[in-house]
Amino acid sequence: AQSVTQLGSHVSVSEGALVLLRCNYSSSVPPYLFWYVQYPNQGLQLLLKYTSAATLVKGINGFEAEFKKSETSFHLTKPSAHMSDAAEYFCAVSGAGNTPLVFGKGTRLSVIA
């Protein structure tokens, strides 16, 4: 079984400040990990993915995440927040093959001017 825990349902940062969204996973098999972003009333857009290659993964819009097996974590970071980053962020885990993703509960990011 796989699961994801996102710490903090809501994170608020100032524009230009560091963004850190936390994600811890549980998986009985080597995990594939994802971060998706969702804007209001829209579907999900892939930010980045970990597929057992490099542990530091760079994604779109300046985001990156680091896979830490010892900590079972896959936290999402961005050095400098923009107003356009305000959205809901979901961490997800899956196994290999055509298996569905299991999502965390999401973290809403607010960016304050």
Q: What are the residues binding another protein (CB under 8 A)?
A: 32, 34, 36, 41-46, 49, 51-53, 90, 94, 96-106, 108
Contacts of 80 (CB under 8 A, 6+ apart): 16, 17, 18, 62
- For residues 81 and 44, what is the distance between their CA atoms, to the nearest angstrom? 20
In the complex with another protein, which residue's Cβ is closer, 1 or 113? 1
CB of 16 to another protein, least distance (A): 27
Cβ pair 74, 52 in contact under 8 A? no
CB of 25 to another protein, least distance (A): 14
CB of 111 to another protein, least distance (A): 18
